Structure 1
C-alpha cells in the first residue's frame, strides 16, 4: 500500500485554475500543523499563491480516502470550524487583495470559512468583478448577487425540490435565479450533462461520456474552468461548453485531478 497527499476543496479549485495557465491566489484558513504545511508546499509546487491564516486552535481539514482497486472504499473527515478572529483577518485580507483580481471564486464546503460570504460578494460586485459560487447547504440567500452559481443536481434538488420534466426544472431554476439576482445558474447533472439558465433562456449541454474513474473534484474543475474563461472575457455560453469538456476529462482520472490546456485543444 502507499499514501499520497493531494490538495482538495478550494485548494483543488485553485490548482485547476493554475493548471489552465491563469494566476490563482488562494485565501483560506489552515491549522498550524503538518497537513497545513504540506498543503502550502503542494500548492507552491503547482504555482498557486497562498494567503493562509493559521489558526493554532484548529486542525487543517483533512479527508482521508481509502482506495482499493481504483474505487473509494471509505472516507474519514477531520475538521473543526475556524475562530471569529481568524475569519475577520481573512476578510480583511480579501478586501485588500480584491483590486488585483479579474474574477472571484467562492467555494463553499460548509466548513465555516465563508462566514462573511454575503459581504465578500457585495464588495466584489461593487467593483464590477464577477463572482462564481459553488454552493453548499440550504441557505442560498447568502449567495444573493453572485454572478454565477454552480450547484450539482443533488444540491439544487435540496433547495428547489424535485422535478418531473425539463420544463419544470427550468421554471424552478429561473425562479431561483431571479430571487437571488444571479446572471447565470449552472446545474451540473453528472451523466445528464449540464444545464445553464440565463436571461437568454435555458441551454443544455450533454455529458461527454468516457470511462468514469472518480467524480471527486469534478465540480472544482468545472468552476475553475468557468472562472478562468470568464476572467479572460469569454461569454458564459462558450465557457460552459469548455467546462463541460474539462469535467468529462477529469472524471477519467483518479482522485482530485487537474486538466491542462492541451487536453482541451
Structure 2
C-alpha cells in the first residue's frame, strides 16, 4: 500500500518523553596507554545529534509528517545545544527548562570506526516538573492525531498512565517505545514496540515460535493493547494483534549501527497511524525504514524519498 507526501503531511504526532543529546568524539587510535591497557584516542572531530525522544520527533519530521516534542531539559550547556538542534529540525518544540535537572548526554568515543566507550550524564526530574509537563500534554493533545511516548527510563514519564488515559479518552492512538522489566504503566496503549531483549526481560525466554506467540499475545491481552510490534533484528518484525500475527523479513542490508533504530521504528509507525493507516498496513514501511537507518552511523533519520526508493 502506497502513501503520498500529502497524506503524511497531514499526520500530526505528539512526541513525549526522554530527550537527550548524543555526542560523538571521533579520533585516531595509534597506541596503547602506558598508564593502563587501554587505547589512546587522539580526538580529531566532534559531532552532536538529537537523541531519545528528540530523535524520534526528528524521524517523524524527516518523513514529511509534523511532530511536536514535549520534554524537559536542564538549564545547562547540553540543554542549550539540544534546543538549537531542535530549533533547526522542523520540530515544534515545547521544551521546558529546569535548573535542578541535568540534560541527559550520551558521549560516545569512536576510534577506527568502532565505539570504544560510552559515558552517560543524567539525573531524574523532580515531581513538580513532571506535573507541569502533564498539564502541557493535556493542552497539546487535541491538535494531534497520534501520541508517541519515548521511554528511555530517565524518569520523565512517571505520570504516563494518566496521560495514556487522557489520550485514549480523546480517541488518539498511543504508541510507546518501552523500557524496563515492568510494562504495567503502558496498560491501555494502542501499540508498544519492544525489541527481543526488552520483551525477554518482561515475559522470560521462549523455546520456539509458538511459545513466543503465546507469551506476546498474553502480554498484549493483559495490558489491553491493540497490538504489540516485536522488532527482531535479522529476523525482521512480528506484529501481534487480535487477528493473530503477521511477520515481515528483515530488509537485506549491511548493519552499520543500530543506535536509534528503535526511534525510527516507532516514529515511522506513528506517522503512518497518524495518517490513518492501520498498524498492519504500516508494518512493511516500518520494516523498510529500519533497514535503511541501521546502515547509517549513529542516531539518524530516514526521509520520505529514501523510504519510497528502498
CA distance in 2, matches of 1:72, 1:210: 20
User: Any unmatched runs of 5+ in structure 2?
Assistant: 1-43
Aligned to 1:86: 129
Whole-angstrom distance in 2 between the partners of 1:192 and 1:77: 30
Q: How many Å separate the matches in 2 of 1:16 and 1:197?
A: 24
Deviation at residue 87 of structure 1 after TM alignment: 0.6
Whose helix fraction is larger, Structure 1's or Structure 2's? 1
How many Å apart are 1:92 and its aligned residue? 0.5
> In the TM superposition, what are the counterparts of 1:167-246 in structure 2 within 5 Å?
167-246=210-289
The 8 Å contact of residues 153 and 189 in structure 1, kept in 2 or not, is answered as yes
Which of 109, 131, 135 is the equivalent residue of 1:66?
Answer: 109
Deviation at 1:70, TM superposition (A): 2.2
- The alignment yields a C-alpha RMSD, in angstroms, of 0.7
Quick one: distance in 1 between partners of 2:223 and 2:262?
Answer: 21
User: Greater strand share, 1 or 2?
Assistant: 2
Where do 5+ consecutive residues of structure 1 fail to align? none
Q: Which residue of 2 aligns with 1:254?
A: 297
TM-score, normalised to structure 1, is 0.99
Off by >6 Å, runs of 4+ in structure 1? none
Q: TM-score, normalised by structure 2?
A: 0.84
The Cα shift of 1:101 comes to 0.6
Q: Displacement, 1:236? A: 1.1
Query: 1:56 is matched with which residue: 99, 121, 144?
Result: 99
Query: For 2:45, what is the secondary structure of its paired residue?
Result: coil
Deviation of 1:72 after TM superposition, in Å, equals 1.4
Equivalent residues of 1:70, 1:213 under 8 A apart: no
Q: How does 1:128-143 map to 2 (within 5 A)?
A: 128-143=171-186
Quote how far apart the aligned CAs of 1:67 are: 1.2
